[in-house]
Amino acid sequence: MLLSPYATTGERIRITLLWLWCGLVILFLLVPILIPVPLSFNSGAFFIFPLEGLSTRWYEVVLGTQRWQSAIGNSLVIALGTTLIATTLGTLTAIALSDEKFPGRRIVMPLLLSPLIVPVVITAVGSYLFYARVGLASTYAGIILAHTALASPFVVVTVGASLTGFDRNLMRAAAISGARPLTAFFKVMLPLILPGVLSGAAFAFVTSFDEVVVVQFLASASQRTMPLEMFIGLREKLSPAITAAATLMMALSIVLLVVANILSRRGRRVPNR
Amino acid sequence: MSALQPSELDRPTLARDRSAADAELISVSAALRRAEFGDRLRSLLLATPLLVLLALSFGIPIVLLLSRAAYDPTIADALPKTAAALSGWSGQGLPGDDAFAALAADLKDNQVKGTAYELAKSLNARLPGARSQILKTVRRLEKADGQAALDALKSAPFWSAPPTWTAIQSGTKSFTSFYLLSALDLRWDADGGIERVPPEQAIFIQVFLRTFFVAASVTLATLILGFPLAYLIANVPKGLAAILIVAVLLPFWTSILVRTAAWTVLLQKFGLVNDFLLLIGVTSDRLDLMYSRIGLIIAMTHIQLPFTLLPIYSVMRTIPPSQMKAAYSLGARPFTAFRRIYIPQVFPGVMAGCLLTFILCLGYYITPALIGGASDQLISNFIANYVNVELNWEMAAALSFILLVFTLALFGIFARILGLDRLKLV
């Protein structure tokens, strides 16, 4: 497609240069995220290649010491809480917004997306100020609440996308057949939009699991999450344990987001069949 | 009579029927409207929980923070008597003895209530050096009463300087433009006009310019790196394109913190980037890339590249290659065809990607905090610092306000010319 059948020399040179440039850009994209992986298996305490030897000692540090264990636990509690609330409320809102007659749709949508636009430090500092007054600072509830604001836009968007092809007549058919609204929702609508809902849930989980700025302002010392431990570690002393933590976090978010994307693609395809 | 036309007979019947039908129609449409109203109400109810939660967890905190930029009752609350005594003061020279007496009484009250430190901190933001003076005076006033207290105040050079009293008077006004002006390196001058603060006190304009400079550099770098790759992905066979897209998405799906961590490893003095530069002979010495502007821009470029690339790619994908071939066959040289046929069509994608990256760069916090040096801190880092270190909420709020204005204005432009749909990535 790039090269015409009767390519001139000039064209060949241009295409070769394009490939060369793009190869370098791909290296620039991939090398930095792959580098922590081999380093995390290094038996030495330094970040220098060649590796001294293979070992899992840094994974033992991350998975075996109390400090990191409690951080992983906190991360999971907060991310699961956020996922639960953001997915439930986000799905309801997406269903409401998919109705074209929803009043003020054009105002509500940008408002819902605004947590993605507002610089996160402003969100974090504002939450810290307000939550301290109402007794939510340094509580799991406070962090989950703040994370829900950041995560719910993803749910609204993915569920909304899977609803664009949903035929509302199915709900009418269910009603005519005698189904109550809740039954119709669980038996007819939810199974059809489930891929979108699960995909939104995965996005919400990753958003919360990776978040560090809000946590930095809202969490007490006993509520430190995995990213916050990493952030603090990077500021204080660079230890290879961080590369192990980074590898684990990267693996988790990549797996979840691959699943989320496959699901959301499938979710968008179903109604068109 | 017998010759009644059926039509004549029919007419009234028909009219009756029609009115009945009309009435039925009206009742049907009323019922429909009622049903739709019910639907609408239900939709609204479905959306309510999230909207309420967002208002509580996001809306109110931000409004509360921003209000701190213009409303600061700390000094007015701490010095009620002084505020009353100064209300009629012209602001010229020194106020009368009653103001001194009121201040002495107020300061003693603060010492009793334990709010002296807060007052000292708040006044210090307006009048550098006030903190230590207030704390010193408060201690001295503990042992003095009435006339002795008044004398103690009047004999102290700090309290008998007119600028002190101007600062107190302006501080006792709870609604203030002081912090917002300070955030732009401006202040009120003695005649009630607005002037620039002296150069040695000016910091924020420089920080905003730095933030814009870094954002613009990163945007340009991502465009230079991303545009050719987007073009390649859009024009190779499907299978190869899928592999290349994964190479773009893998870093995109990795958190900013993890990628920043990776760059702190790479940018070390004995890290891979320096190894590479030595290997290809660009430099003869190892560079200090950590805590430097260039290191920060490299890492941010890596993080933002997919944000710039993906919108461009999604537009390029829709341009049929036959168009360029048509341009060639009509005699256009490659560059002309590219400039006149291709660029105008991908322009919206380029705008979307670049604006998105620029907007996101304005709010960067983690990467400058970990990779930037002291002179590479962006505006978000200053906001965090005012909260964490200086405990000056008003200044943090004022800087947040200005950053938010820039962000929302750019986002408004984005939504206006490109539409919100362009925000969807992938």
Query: How many CB atoms lie under 10 A from the CB of residue B64?
Result: 15
Residues of B in Cβ contact (< 8 Å) with A36? 258, 261-262, 265
Residues of A in Cβ contact (< 8 Å) with B389? none
More confident residue, B45 or B426: B45
Closest chain B CA to residue A115: B58
CB contact under 8 A, A126 and B61: yes
CATH for B204-423 (3.40.50.360, 1.10.3720.10, 2.40.30.170, 1.20.1530.20): 1.10.3720.10
Global pTM reads 0.87
A contact test, residue of B36, B37, B43, B63 with most A CBs within 10 A: B43
The per-residue DSSP string of B252-308 comes to HHS-HHHHHHHHHHHTSTTSHHHHHHHHTTS-SS----TTSHHHHHHHHHHHHHHHH
Any chain A CB within 8 A of the CB of B270? yes
Number of domains in chain A: 1
Question: According to the model, what pLDDT value does residue A229 have?
Answer: 94
CB contact under 8 A, A28 and B225: yes
Q: How far is B57 from chain A (nearest CA, A)?
A: 6
More confident residue, A237 or A162: A162
A187 within a domain of the structure (yes/no): yes
> Quick one: pLDDT band at residue A271, thresholds 50, 70, 90?
very low
C-alpha span between B11 and B9 (Å, rounded) = 6
Residues within 8 A of B (CB atoms), A 225-254 only: 227, 230-231, 234-235, 238, 242-243, 246, 249-250, 253-254
CB contact under 8 A, A92 and B236: no
Question: According to the model, what pLDDT value does residue A2 have?
Answer: 67
B187 has which bridge partners?
Answer: B195
Decide: A1 and B237 in contact? Cβ < 8 Å: yes
C-alpha span between A169 and B239 (Å, rounded) = 38
A56 within a domain of the structure (yes/no): no
C-alpha span between A184 and B416 (Å, rounded) = 39
Q: What is the CATH number of the domain that holds A111?
A: 1.10.3720.10
pLDDT tens for each residue of B213-240: 999 999 999 999 999 999 999 999 999 9
Any chain B CB within 8 A of the CB of A84? no
Q: What is the mean pLDDT of residues A210-214?
A: 96
pLDDT tens for each residue of A172-199: 899 999 999 889 999 999 999 999 999 9
> Quick one: pLDDT band at residue B5, thresholds 50, 70, 90?
very low
Residue ranges matching CATH 1.10.3720.10 in chain B = 204-423
C-alpha span between A201 and A182 (Å, rounded) = 21
A contact test, residue of B33, B41, B253 with most A CBs within 10 A: B253
Question: According to the model, what pLDDT value does residue B259 have?
Answer: 95
Q: At what angle do helices A190-210 and A240-269 cross, to 10 degrees?
A: 160
Any chain B CB within 8 A of the CB of A49? yes
Any chain A CB within 8 A of the CB of B291? no
Q: What is the mean pLDDT of chain A?
A: 89
Closest chain B CA to residue A23: B229
Query: How many CB atoms lie under 10 A from the CB of residue B196?
Result: 14
Percent of chain A with pLDDT over 70: 94
| Least-confidence region, from A90-94, A267-271, B260-264 | A267-271
Percent of chain B with pLDDT over 70: 94
Question: According to the model, what pLDDT value does residue B72 have?
Answer: 85
Any chain B CB within 8 A of the CB of A141? no
C-alpha span between B329 and B337 (Å, rounded) = 10
Question: According to the model, what pLDDT value does residue B13 have?
Answer: 53
A195 within a domain of the structure (yes/no): yes
Residues of A in Cβ contact (< 8 Å) with B244? 22, 26
Side-chain half-sphere of B410: how many Cα atoms within 13 Å? 23
The amino acid sitting at B313 is Y
C-alpha span between B140 and B412 (Å, rounded) = 55
> Quick one: pLDDT band at residue A266, thresholds 50, 70, 90?
confident
A contact test, residue of B257, B316, B399 with most A CBs within 10 A: B257
pLDDT tens for each residue of A103-143: 777 788 888 889 999 999 999 999 999 999 999 989 999 99
A104 within a domain of the structure (yes/no): yes
Q: Which of A49, A213, A250 sits opposite B254 (nearest CB)?
A: A250
B188 has which bridge partners?
Answer: B194
**pLDDT surpasses 90 at B31:** no
Q: What is the mean pLDDT of residues B185-191?
A: 82
What's chain A look like in SS3? CCCCCCCCHHHHHHHHHHHHHHHHHHHHHHHHHHCHHHHHCECCCCCCCCCCCECCHHHHHHHHCHHHHHHHHHHHHHHHHHHHHHHHHHHHHHHHHHCCCCCCHHHHHHHHHHHHHCCHHHHHHHHHHHHHHHCCCCCHHHHHHHHHHHHHHHHHHHHHHHHCCCCCHHHHHHHHCCCCHHHHHHHHHHHHHHHHHHHHHHHHHHHHHHCCHHHHHHCCHHHCCHHHHHHHHHHHCCCHHHHHHHHHHHHHHHHHHHHHHHHHHHHHHHHHC
A14 within a domain of the structure (yes/no): no
Q: What distance lies between CA B168 and its chain's CA centroid?
A: 31
Phi, psi of B159, deg, nearest 5:
-80, -15
CB contact under 8 A, B261 and A242: yes
Question: According to the model, what pLDDT value does residue A49 have?
Answer: 65
**pLDDT surpasses 90 at B201:** no
Question: According to the model, what pLDDT value does residue B163 have?
Answer: 83
Name the residue range of residue A176's domain.
Answer: 62-272
Q: How far is A123 from chain B (nearest CA, A)?
A: 6
Residues whose CB falls within 8 Å of the CB of residue B351, separated by 6 or more in sequence, listed in order: B417, B418
**pLDDT surpasses 90 at B37:** no
**pLDDT surpasses 80 at B9:** no
